[in-house]
Amino acid sequence: MARNQTPGSVRIRTDDGNEWRYDAIEKAANFYDCNRSSAVAFACEDVDQLVNAARRVLERTT
């Protein structure tokens, strides 16, 4: 997304069956030792890197 299209804020619903999301965000904040907003961003970046690394490993074994 281009910088000029970035919204000022993003909300994550944690009600109506989505309470687990808050717990996951809290765990990430504790893991990264940062605030919840940064933790969400760090976790998203890390998931992309972890998935790509796993794919590379799996491609070597086939």
H or E stretch covering 60: helix 36-60
Separation of alpha carbons 36 and 30, rounded Å: 9
The stretch 34-58 carries a mean pLDDT of 96
Number of domains in the chain: 1
What is the residue range of 61's domain?
A: 35-62
Query: What is the average pLDDT value for the chain, to the nearest integer?
Result: 92
Do the domain assignments include residue 48? yes
Question: Does the residue 1 lie in any domain?
Answer: no
Distance of alpha carbon 3 from alpha carbon 27, whole angstroms? 29
Instruction: Evaluate if residue 32 carries a pLDDT over 60.
Output: yes
Look at residue 19 in the predicted model and tell me its pLDDT.
96
pLDDT of residue 5: 86
DSSP-derived letter for residue 34 is S
